[in-house]
Structure 1
């Protein structure tokens, strides 16, 4: 299989200097690309000078994660796209088990490796951990990470199971499926676009898998820190967009209404914590959602799977039942 490892970059020369060497060292099966979102630092000249085997794809503007990859991948020919954050350290033979799964299981369209914390390598990393799921109301969580609780890797998720979504931090997808689904949704800009793409793949009958034999380490928060109000805006807005596109019709309106109430409670919580900028971010997220609602509804596919969630309410389980770890 022809594999393209594609690293989306925006003003990330320091990260490229730190993490490109491991990718080049352990990715002999692939061609490595840097897709640059119109950086204003010396990223391109640095890569050209120090890593001449890396292919460069230049975008005209900073399109964010979603459109940034959509634009770049138009210029890359491969059977498998490996979309890798610039703050990922890979390990020896990380591509081999991924290739084997794609070759053996034709229904599997998307794969995620085990994602551990670069800063604390015995623990899972927040963005992806051991594979993603969502609850009935569209709240994402992972095996190994539920809300702010991150588990130590004790081998408890050393199984290659089907999951609902794969982390955009290290995301493998068949190029044919990527093109069939028309890639990420440009309106998302960044955050949860990978969950939306996975949900659309599930609605088309494809499978998504976690492979524990492929291991990477992720720094996390290199572009937008967890406490950034813009991240709050994108997460709340994009979650509502995703629900509108992918929920089965008989659940759409009730779940959306419930989510908006829950978003209101989250906003009140931010007020009590003195995080007024995050409360404002939720208001802006809802306003943006309403402005995009008509166009987003038109993006709904012909079929929406009724089996999309693993847990009815992760909020209830986590905060009221003390369910801090993943339970199948």
Structure 2
């Protein structure tokens, strides 16, 4: 089915786009997003913000596309397992992370998501102009933010790089005056994907299209204007947990090869714990089964990759960014 951007009337001069990490496995439309947690985190000011959501349920053959990849999926899983180098967890991590990262191997899927993302950003800017102009307000004072989770961070990274460098989309932050207020990347796999994708580059269709594989390394999306870098957003914030393998940690240890640390970003580490006892068993349970399916430890295990928990735990940050526009 064709992607249809959300259209909203802004109550004030602020908007936020929530970007999901997975495809139709997200299920239930907006119910898949941590909207309740976000509104609780920022309180009464939530009513003053136009809240958009982006997932990929318009791709209705998500599982079939993955099956088409065949041996490439196996190579992806092996590369993930080899890098984590933990015999007890390698199979679990290969399956879990592979389920998140496989779209990088499927060009049609990548481009469909990429185009949908840019179409939604464009619609947000149109809604901004229409809503604010109708109230006699200057759209140039609008404050738009993005909160992305998991693979949604990768899609955000790629889409914003395109927005900054390709004038056809009219989303360049300097030329088109569309600089975002903030981008919050929760449990970002961008560095993880760069490392893994670099090792299986021959299996990736049109790898030169990917910003994560830029030969100069990872950089924050920006437009070069009169020799000056105009960032896509005034502030980029990376939030990741100390037990979240997608965000670059394994059993409390930071892995440089998987941890996103781009010059200019603000990094917040969330201290996480799994459960008393064997940490390997706890992490397996958290990632593969979930708290309702792990028997005796069900009430103790928490998913370190939970988007809802990330949002609930960052009330102060989100309040500052979405209601005050603070840049620190």
**Does TM, scored on the shorter chain, surpass 0.5?**
no
The two structures have a TM-score, normalised by structure 1, of 0.29
Structure with greater proportional helix content: 2
